[in-house]
Structure 1
Amino acid sequence: MYQFFKITMLILLLVSSKVFAVAFDSCPSKAYLFQGKPVSVYGINLVTGTNSLLQDDTGLSSNINGVGFNETDRYIYGFDTTNYNVVRLGQNFQATTLNVNGLPSDKTFYVGDVYDHHYYVYRSGTGLYKIDLSPLDSNVNSTLTAQLITSTASVSLTDFAFHPSNSRLYGVDNGSGGLYEFDINTGAATYIGDTGELGTFGAMYFDVDGYLYLSRNQDGQIYRVNLSTQAIIDSGVVPAIKFADGPYSNQNDGARCANAPLIDTDEPATIDFGDAPDTNYGTTLAANGARHEMDGVTWLGASVDGDYYAAQSPDSDDSITSDDEDGVGFVTAIEPGLDSVITVNASTTGYLSAWFDWNDDGDFSDDGEQVITDKTLVAGSNNLVISVPFGATVGETWSRFRFSQQTGLAYYGGSTSGEVEDHVVTIVDANTSQRHFPSADGYVTIAYEDNWPETADYDMNDMVLRYRITETLKDGDVAKVSISGQLVAVGASYHSGFAVRLAGIDATNIDSDKTRLYYNSALQDGNAQESGMTEASFIVINDAIEVSSYNCYFFRTLDDCREDVGVEFELNFSLITPVTTGSMPAMPYDPFLYATPGFYHGPSFAQAPGRSYEVHLADQAPTEKFDTNFYQLAEDTSDPNTSRYFKTSNNMPWALLIYDEWKWPRERVDLAVAYPQFADYTTSGGGTHTDWYDITNAIANKYY
């Protein structure tokens, strides 16, 4: 009998813990997200976006939506959208179905919140209702009555939330992104302003300071709207600012105790903030400053410690706890126009982004101030190179480094992992200047015919590039070079690459640690400098057909393969010992086409010529990798003894450099047909028709 009694009591305890909701002990700072069917409940740290599954079995196999936290009895109320019932949940997230009269029996509600011991639900086209919850104080089985406030409900909402200070509801229209205020006595909706964001905002919360948080179903992104004062609300300026990232779901709703602070100072500090001044850099939580949830795995330097708030310069979080701003070291001076080496010590593999306030205007928002974007770091020391803009302001300024398991972080906002370090840096006067080819913002056009040593169709569009060089001089000598441009046409069936040689510059004088190649601002793997060369030479594009692939042939030389320019390149390299301007090769240096190894390149070659095949501008000698046995094949009349290279007998070249953003011939249209004066120009040795390339001298419909 005693054993039976024990088993019976155990069963009753198990059943009661599952069926009866237990009130929350206090008003929690955490937000709660209800997602899916059957519903799962997540705890969300709105500060960082960190989330964890709290309950995947509420005792119901249905979805629960329209949830709100009741500060009077510390329960969460919501709507069972499957069975059309109002439910109540406590800290164990077990759902109790309530008895409610007065709601439409054939309608479900996805919008709800609780205020002053009343549960409010809303449905577009149906109306706004409120339910007095006080009868439940004495009996959970009491019958509740829903009161219709208004049947006018034209705003398309998927959630709303009560402001903690003014007793009004706020929600965002999914179609327009407009913020609306609702009077709970009449149900009247008043348009406040445009949030600037669209989507299904299935979960909305307030904090104690009057900030509204929106969780978007499609991507889980959490936005914040400042409604902290009546003056701001009245102004109608209510932009939604990205705040953090959370989980996403097509069935999404949220509840939170609006009078709770976002950060619970009664618990151990688990968030790392930055240290830069808050004025514009965005450091404090109020300013949506950079902050990271400490995940126990991801940090910079030896350690990271948590803060309850962002220490403001001249203080730092080192002055509050331990010295943890030790993950970034500046190896070389930071000088305008030059490259600087930094070392970053990472605890594990992760992603680094960094910003420098180059113009010292108190923010990180200007163009070019994000210097590292989602760079993958390995555990241990990582050497990185940053390019300092020529116009960087000399003196002290701030930098910010964010290391996380997330990508796409801005210089502000929350992260679910990692650390943020802010560092004061000094930009020193390096006596630098710059010179450009052809100008600071202009390009020349370089065009190649890849049929050398034959002329074939001679349409001069097999590879067409825009091309620019910027040299940075330190104390009058060239210390750094940037070669940038665009691949604008590939009218070729042969696979070719593009390279640049610096004649007379020793290959060993190139700083390999500072050599970087970018495509569309994305850093490319490997070292662009060619190995096995005495003179410095760089591979910019290894295969133009592959790089320009748009699922069509003859890129931007035929109308049916007309696309926007898809590849912009930038090659940066520094000279270990700066070179005098008199010793540097004249710009444009030596840009040349070569055959991509492993591909057929015409009938003049018994086998794929690969890197030994080159096409240079007229009268430019090839590199040391060129096979001199190719001279005078087919129509080529190159003669090293007379310094004649890459010309036909009537001086027609296989490569052109034009001081203009030139319009090249269409596919299989001879250059002399598209530009009739070109033939006289070449046969005269450049003595006549020097403007043959001008568009006014072209034949309509013959150029691209």
Structure 2
Amino acid sequence: MNSYAKEDPITLLRNNGFTNLEADINSGAYSYVFGAQAGQLDYAMSNASLTAQVVGATTWHINTDEPSVLDYNVEFKSPGQVVSLYSPDPYRASDHDPAIIGLQLGATADFSDLDSVYGTAWHVGDGAVRLGSLWDADTAHDLHDDNTTDDGVQRGAGSGPGGQWQPGVDGGSLDIMVTGSGTGCLYAWIDWNDDGAFDDNDATQNLEYIIRGETTGSGNYSFEVPANEFLPPPGPGTPPQSYNLRVRLYDTCGSGPTGVTVGGEVEDYVIAFTPTAVTLQTFRTETAVAPWLLLLLLVVSAGLVWSGYGRRRLVSGNW
């Protein structure tokens, strides 16, 4: 297949359930360099059942990273370079780079569930090391499925009153259950600014990467909450704040919020905060009854009672 990444054929395939393996596993994947412009022209696409059996994907950079003077044209080559051009090796056989895909046929996978804007994460294997008590084996790649079988993560206490989350160091925490033996690597991300990415190139980037490192078991993991989170909403009727969370557990360290790995598990959550769960200061002053209004109501009520009592005595006297 030969098409630019944003052209209609690629969009059509992706909208119909096919996964662009190179791009989904390796952000920034490219297979050509023309005039200092890099992009993707070569693809390995898989349907849902095959994607669950993919254990790796990469681009074999044997062509595009060489200078154009070494490409397969011969007009700028020395006699020796012309001879070496036809050597029985893979280098500079084209001006594009091929894709290499690793498969573990017959395997099942656990996929991420958030909307596709966050990219796809999936784990192939049997879940010997996993989040929670159950390994969520998916029979197909079903993005934004909001899978209810994820059971490894609970919202923990923060540093605010009553364990509420609030801005600052150790402002929030997660209770994470790890099942399995040995040492694994635990990573987690929260999209604090709700821009559909976990690896922002902005001021919140490091704070969105909330948990990283080795773990030997279950525990409570605290992290810093950025400033200006959980501020009063702009007005009445504003829905509760919610944040998208991704947690990944690996057999070995070093992966990001997207892509495939062997072993472990991925779980996605939407954490919603209501006025009773976190101090959002949503109880606004205009909803309270002013003291002078209460006094006025008491005076009016007393007057009505006295007036009714007087009329009752008057009627009784006429009997």
Q: Looking at both structures, which has the greater relative contact order when contacts are Cα pairs under 8 Å and sequence separation is at least 6?
A: 2
Pick the structure with greater CA Rg.
Answer: 1
Higher helix proportion: 2
Higher strand proportion: 1
Tell me the TM-score normalized by structure 1.
0.24
Tell me the TM-score normalized by structure 2.
0.49
